Amino acid sequence: MTLNGRVALVTGGSRGIGKAIAVALAEAGANVALSYRSREEEAEEVVRTMQVSGRHAVALQADVGSAASIDALVKTTVDRLGPVDVLVCNAGVGQPARLEELTLALWEETLNVNLRSAFLLTQAVVPTMRARKFGRLIYLSSTAAQVGGIVGPHYAASKAGLLGLMHSYASQLAKEGITANAICPALVATEMLTDNPRAPKPESLPVGRFGRPEEAAEVAVMLAHNAFITGQTLQVNGGVYMT
């Protein structure tokens, strides 16, 4: 299957894993809309990189913690590029907090941005996917969903919730040409890792190094291509958690 002419929407696409996925999808032939919250200059630079591949690309400001902003994001994507074929729910927050530091406000913000937004985005794009009998739903979870991780219970719970969401969409939409899968990165060299003083040393990983965002992006492109893989959780973690 080719992605030529398909429309992809990648949230949180101005940096890190989201940026790598947006660029990789464009290189694979997709026209890409990426959302960003505040880093407009970085988002526009990603757009220019994608346009080198000869694809249509747009950067759209959005706060995925807001239902109204999500509605506007999807509508503008459709108006600019067309109905969404590939949804990559990547935008998220992960403020580290020890048990004694965890507050209800931080819990609610994390669940809102990491989990609620994925539900709202999916509900917004699935109707046109069903009408066209094609769709790829890709959720960026985390190995923290299985092992707890180094960020905190709020983050682990939000990422575990994405797996349940993915399983439900996968089972209910499998006969309609729509797949749903999750990617669980861990210890990939992004700001969330490098800014966390509790992060382990790269040599502590079985592979002896941190991951690269592009290595997670390779998995996302594979899932966008593949029509037979659905309901699966793919670990991209250098061997720190093995299935």
- Tell me which CATH homologous superfamily contains domain 7-236: NAD(P)-binding Rossmann-like Domain (3.40.50.720)
Banded pLDDT at 113 (limits 50, 70, 90): very high
Rounded mean pLDDT, 131-154: 96
pLDDT 10s digits, 58-69: 999 999 999 999
Amino acid at 203: E
Q: Pick the catalytic residue from 36, 139, 155, 169.
A: 155
Instruction: Tell me if 81 sits within 8 A of 57, measured CB to CB.
Output: no
Domain ranges of the chain: 7-236
Residue closest to 58 by CA, chosen among 38, 87, 86, 79: 79
pLDDT 10s digits, 2-42: 899 999 999 999 999 999 999 999 999 999 999 999 999 99
In the prediction, which pLDDT does 50 show? 94
Rounded mean pLDDT, 159-170: 98
Crossing angle between the packed helical segments 153-173 and 104-111, to the nearest 10 degrees: 30
Residue 70 has pLDDT above 90, yes or no: yes
Integer Cα distance of 229 and 238 in angstroms = 22
Residue 194 has pLDDT above 90, yes or no: no
In the prediction, which pLDDT does 53 show? 83
155 is catalytic: yes
DSSP three-state, residue 239: coil
Integer Cα distance of 140 and 4 in angstroms = 23
Banded pLDDT at 190 (limits 50, 70, 90): confident
Integer Cα distance of 205 and 84 in angstroms = 37
Task: Please state the pTM of the whole predicted model.
Answer: 0.95
Crossing angle between the packed helical segments 153-173 and 117-132, to the nearest 10 degrees: 10
Residue closest to 50 by CA, chosen among 76, 21, 78: 21
**Selected residue with higher pLDDT from 147 and 199:** 147
